[in-house]
Structures are given as structure tokens and as C-alpha cells.
Structure 1
Amino acid sequence: MFAKNVGGIEKVLRVVIGLALIAGALMGYGTWMWIGIIPLATALLGSCPLYTILGKGTCPLHRK
């Protein structure tokens, strides 16, 4: 469905950052922190739409 273009270390960083932002939103630090859904979703899918548009990626098996 989606081309895999997010590598292992980057996936971990995206999950950590996404969860931290969502936790901040749940604790009331600001509704803008719900933006953490984006890095979390891209990590879980293994695909970043911006990387696809730019023709980039950090996944070593699918690098062009």
C-alpha cells in the first residue's frame, strides 16, 4: 500500500516524539501537541508522505 521509507532508528525516534507530544496534550500543555499523531502514524506505517514526494528515505532496504 505505502512504500516503506522510514528506517529503524528513525521509527523509534518518531514513536518517542509522537508519544511525548500526545502525552503533553493529554496533560493540558496545549492542543497543538496533538500534532504528535503525525510522527506516530508515520512510524507505525513505516512510510512518510513527505519523503515520498521528495524521493528520500532512511530505510536501507528500499533506498533508491
Structure 2
Amino acid sequence: MFKRNMGTVDRAIRAVVGLVLISLVFLGPQTAWGWIGVIPLATAAMGFCPAYSPLGLSTCKRHASTN
């Protein structure tokens, strides 16, 4: 499985953007381009962004060890 690299706020924003884009398929201009919203919705659900990996980015909070 993938190592999570997205924090809660990042995931929430992506989910909202994805849902808004998908809603454009049924409302508004009603074009198929709204299906591009599946990508941010899927990355939000997985908690992993493939574009972040090669760039070494992560919005996930690091948990402090309790040793």
C-alpha cells in the first residue's frame, strides 16, 4: 500500500474540489470535463498524492515518538 503523504486539511480540500468538479457534469455547463474531479476525490480517499512523492512533499503531520 501507499504511505500517506496528505494531511487532513489537504484531503478535505481535494474532496470538496473533486465533488464540485463532478457536479459540473450534472449541473452548470454539463460537460464531460467535470469527470476530472475523480482524480482529486480519489487522492483524498487514499490519502496519497503521486505528484508529491517525486517532489518529496508531504502535508501529513509527523507523529512524535513516545520512547
Gaps of 5+ in 1: none
In the TM superposition, what is the alpha-carbon distance from 1:28 to its structure 2 partner? Answer: 6.0
Q: Which has the higher helix share?
A: 1
Gaps of 5+ in 2: none
CA distance in 2, matches of 1:3, 1:26: 34
Alignment partner of 1:38 is 2:15: no
Q: Which amino acid aligns with 2:59?
A: T
The answer for the alignment partner of 1:49 in structure 2 is 50
CA distance in 2, matches of 1:36, 1:61: 28
Q: Give the greater-gyration-radius structure (CA).
A: 2
The answer for the alignment partner of 2:18 in structure 1 is 18
Question: Percent identity at matched positions?
Answer: 48
In the TM superposition, what is the alpha-carbon distance from 1:9 to its structure 2 partner? Answer: 0.5
CA distance in 2, matches of 1:3, 1:54: 15
* 1:7-30 Cα shifts (integer Å, max 9, x gaps): 001111000000010011123622
CA distance in 2, matches of 1:47, 1:12: 13
Number of residue pairs matched? 62
